[in-house]
Structure 1
Amino acid sequence: MSLTTYWLEHAWLGTHVEPGVALEVTGDGRIGGLRTGVDAPPPGAEILRGLTLPGLANAHSHAFHRALRGTVQIGSGTFWTWRELMYEIAQNLTPDSYFTLARAVYAEMALAGITNVGEFHYVHHAPGGTPYADPNAMGEALIEAAAAAGIRITLLDTAYLSSGFGEAPNTHQQRFSDGTADAWAERVSSLKPRGHALIGAAVHSVRAVPADQLATVARWAEERRTALHVHLSEQTAENDACRAAHGRTPTQLLADHGVLGPRTTGVHNTHLTDADIALLGGTGTGTCMCPTTERDLADGIGPATRLQRAGSPLSLGSDSHAVIDLLEEARAMELNERLRSRTRGHWTANALLTAATGDGHAALGLADAGRLEEGALADFTTVALDSVRTAGPLPRLGAETAVFAATAADVRHTVVGGRHVVRDGHHTLVEDVPSALAESIAALRS
């Protein structure tokens, strides 16, 4: 039996924008029916004015990096100097402080239209590497934070065992490490999925997991048929070190140890050879682009067009949270490619929204989200078409308006499992998100 009917003034249905759509939500939080050509709201319907999209999927997040916003942009430097500042914040995290920060960060995501986050989680233990009484206390804090903020999470529990090729973890990294991949697998196996949360796996990078232990992580994910993510060729220094240690690129090393495949997503995939691109595409390995972080850290522009043509599905992430805005990530992917190629129109607005919705959810192991159709999860978000950024274009061009003009500030509603999490631009579960962010970040710096 339907519990709620939503009337969507305009809805993006994957290929086009449809005016006047009635969407029914069933008791289990799924779309029970979808009717087009409904010119006026049915009696008692929730009215969503603007353009309604499937919920956005943030396929790559490090929640605690949000505490770095506005500080790491000072002065010059590289990814490696940025990393030292990141370590300082990581050292101050506890299960309680991480819950408080992540709840606020995930609430910010909901305000940006994000209904599902892939949390690439590697801060597992206390400083020095001592496990908490509950070895998964930090991961549980993130799962609870997502529930408190009203969004879904795929916890990508991350194996992080070494500082570099043949190097033990440094002082900061000791709390990331389980010692061996087998110990990592034993710990993560006690994490259980629940209604709003899936448990996935991640290889932090080829420099952080010894080659002879990569297969253990891959096998764990394969046996559970869950998502497996990996930072891949984000930096040329990583490529050079991998060639020196193993005589091959990181992509080739991952392929040799069974890490690549259709449930695997490489994050960044920035500095690749032609052979790397062919391997990723040929195995159906996904690519998660994080353009706002990649440009913030001066990482470079990844070959997203070539990867997609080769067969690698594209998703998007906000990574270090320089901003949290999946519409900006989608826009940036296209605009970065325009700058590099000096030509326009590499992806349509529909294709970019697909990366931000359906393909992003699929990369996180949630195949039944990211579409406005019967049977899918009732997760969707509405973007205003009458703000100073979006007013003017014809509504039928709403996809183009959303991608090339709108920002997270234009999100008016976010619905997860049929429940209003953001209504009229206000979070319904976290009363004052800016204050929650400010207070939780200040606590980490005190």
Structure 2
Amino acid sequence: MPLTTYWLEHAWLGTYAEPGVALEAADGRITAVRTGVDAPPPGAVVLRGFTVPGLANAHSHAFHRALRGTVQVGSGTFWTWREVMYGVAQRLTPDSYFALARAVYAEMALAGVTAVGEFHYLHHGPGGTPYADPNAMGEALIAAAREAGIRITLLDTAYLSAGFGAAPEHHQLRFSDGTAERWAERAGALKDRDGVRIGAAIHSVRAVPADQLSTVARWAEERRAPLHVHLSEQTAENEACHAAHGVTPTRLLADHGVLGPRTTGVHNTHMTDADIALVGSASTGTCMCPTTERDLADGIGPATALQKAGSPLSLGSDSHAVIDLLEEARAMELNERLRTHIRGHWTAAALLRAASADGHAALGWSDAGALEPGALADFTTIALDTVRTAGPLPRLAPETAVFAASAADVRHVVVGGRTVVRDGVHVSVPDAAGALADAIAALRD
């Protein structure tokens, strides 16, 4: 790929907004960053607004996007929401999942996301019958991300039980490989490739029997791959774990070798002080998903305590009630303000780091998330002249981006030195809204 020069009107260089930055990229990576460049160099691609490293959506269930609007009708709990989710899952095929995920990932790109962690457990055909290619559904997601122009870490998920050893229920048969060993055999056929990382996930302590947790953990350790797990999302899960094993879910994971620096607990909402200490001392990450956690009435997790204990924070849109990493970052801070009645738990710079560098690290992309030589040439430009962002001084662009901007203010997105979004339009999926509407309509009864 030839050398391309970008002129960034304003750029986030880790802790501050810098005006007039010339960034050069070749072969998918940043090769030079020069500050104090007051005017665009000849031939440069001009990116007006505030350019930040690409955003990482560290927790996604692509097919949940089909639930938006539907599950917001009436009342209920996480568990009633889950029944609606099962209904959508039953209707997906590799072809329809590709169409839906391509549109969902295009929506993510339009929101400034350059990498997604797809927590993938919809493996098999109806009734649990494997497809001719046992990884047909996972490969459909990989192909969808490629066509949408974003990187993907496919977190292939072990989901074996309806709860603490109980056999899978009818709706869960598509998720289960039967045993962790058979899960490992199937997942082992998936391979890293350009723009793709293969990781692992334990759906939850209720969905993987305790004596099989270590099999999944070893699989990830041997491959030095990311390992994610839904952790203490619901108080009912904690209570059931206590009843079955006499310990918290966090303690159970620790006892079976699951915690560690390549592991990320998703949600980590209902934790004891001892749980927080375990997660932090193991340098296990925490992926907060505030828009989903509030949509499902899950609760507000102890993000500040987890970070102070040593747990890096990342962000995800999870069920895609909305897809907006800026809103996730903002919500994490605002939720904490509501909980504590105190403002200012994280700076805008810290929240941007959670949405970019730390999110990429949680997904195995340690060479992304910074505007510096050698990093992947993945970056996002946020407009500073919309009705939401106009007015503040340019030096306050980080605060403007986090506390005022939304996904609708994303103007340009570059992934690996290739333009994915230009002037607010997806280059390869120009009618992303229509693609979403068509893919979701095809799944209705």
Q: Quick check: TM above 0.5? A: yes
Corresponding residue number in structure 2 for 1:226? 225
2:15 match: secondary structure: coil
Q: CA deviation at 1:234?
A: 0.1
Rounded Cα–Cα distance in structure 1 between residues aligned with 2:172 and 2:405: 39
Report what 2:8 is aligned to. 8
Once the two structures are superposed, residues 57-78 of structure 1 have per-residue CA deviations (whole angstroms, 9 ceiling, x without a partner) of 0000000000000000000000
Superposition deviation, residue 166 in structure 1: 2.2
After superposition, give the CA deviation of every residue in 1:84-106 in whole Å (9 maximum; x if it has no partner).
00000000000000000000000
Q: Is the 8 A contact 2:165 2:208 kept in 1?
A: no
- Consecutive unaligned residues of structure 1, counting only runs of 5 or more, are none
1:361-409 deviation digits (Å, cap 9, x = unpaired): 0000000000000000000000000000000000000000000000000
Maintained 8 Å contact 1:112/1:409: yes
Provide, for residues 141-195 of structure 1, a one-character-per-residue CA deviation record: whole Å limited to 9, x for no partner. Answer: 0000000000000000000000001210000000000000000000000001110
> For the Cα contact (< 8 Å) 1:229–1:266, is it kept in 2?
yes
Please state how far the C-alpha of 1:2 moved relative to its aligned partner. 5.2
C-alpha distance after superposition, 1:213-240 (max 9, x if no partner): 0000000000000000000000000000
Residues 342-365 of structure 1: per-residue CA shift (max 9 Å, x gap): 000000000000000000000000
1:154 match: 153
For 1:134, the equivalent position in structure 2 comes to 133
Secondary structure in structure 2 of the residue aligned to 1:132: coil
The answer to whether the Cα contact below 8 Å between 1:242 and 1:248 also exists between their aligned partners in 2 is yes
SS of 2:6's partner is strand
**1-side partners of 2:3 and 2:23: how far apart?**
11
- For 1:17, the equivalent position in structure 2 comes to 17
1:41-72 Cα offsets, whole Å, 9 max, x none, are: 00000000000000000000000000000000
AA partner of residue 16 (structure 2): H
Letter of the 1:10 counterpart: H
Q: CA offset at residue 3 of structure 1?
A: 1.8
How far apart are 1:210 and its partner, in Å? Answer: 0.1
Q: State the alpha-carbon separation in 1 of the partners of residues 266 and 162 from structure 2.
A: 19
Quote the offset at 1:339 in angstroms. Answer: 0.1
Q: Secondary structure at the match of 1:322?
A: coil
One-letter amino acid of the structure 1 residue matched with residue 195 of structure 2: H
Partners of 1:262 and 1:386 lie apart in 2 by 40
TM-score (norm 2): 1.00
* Aligned residue number for residue 298 of structure 2: 299
In 2, Cα distance between the equivalents of 1:228 and 1:427?
Answer: 31
Q: Note the residue ranges of structure 2 that are not aligned, 5 or more in a row.
A: none
In percent, how many aligned pairs have the same letter? Answer: 81
**Partners of 2:165 and 2:112 in 1: CA distance:** 42
2:12 aligned partner, one-letter code: W
Residue 318 of structure 2 is matched in structure 1 by 319
Say if 1:2 and 1:32, in contact at 8 Å, map to a contact too.
no
Aligned partner letter, 1:33: A
Secondary structure of 1:215's aligned partner: helix
Query: What does residue range 88-107 of structure 1 map to in structure 2 within 5 Å?
Result: 88-107=87-106
**What residue identity is the alignment partner of 1:17?**
A
- Name the counterpart of 1:145: 144
Partners of 2:86 and 2:277 in 1: CA distance: 35
Aligned position for 1:33:
32
RMSD: 0.6
The residue identity in structure 2 corresponding to 1:283 is A
1:15 to 1:2, Cα distance in 2 relative to 1, 3 A: farther
CA distance in 2 between partners of 1:365 and 1:322 (Å): 25
Distance in 2, Cα, partners of 1:189 & 1:411: 37
Which letter does structure 2 place at the counterpart of 1:15?
A: T
- Return the alpha-carbon distance in structure 2 between the equivalents of residues 96 and 431 of structure 1: 20
TM-score, length-scaled by structure 1: 0.99
Counterpart secondary structure, 1:422:
strand
Q: Does structure 2 conserve the Cα–Cα contact (< 8 Å) formed by 1:151 and 1:416?
A: yes
Q: Equivalents in 2 of 1:294, 1:383: separation in Å?
A: 26
- What is residue 242 of structure 2 aligned with on the other side? 243
Which amino acid in the other structure matches residue 321 of structure 1?
H
Specify the alignment match of 1:425 in structure 2.
Answer: 424
> For residues 12 and 179 of structure 2, what CA distance do their matches in structure 1 show?
46
The amino acid that maps onto 1:325 is D
CA distance in 2, matches of 1:336, 1:307: 15
Instruction: Give the letter aligned to residue 7 of structure 2.
Output: W
Tell me which residue corresponds to 1:84. 83
Runs of 4+ in 1 over 2 A off after TM superposition: none
Q: Distance in 2 between matches of 1:196 and 1:2?
A: 19
> Is the 1:383–1:411 contact (alpha carbons within 8 Å) kept by the matching residues of 2?
yes
CA contact (8 A) 1:2 1:24 kept: no
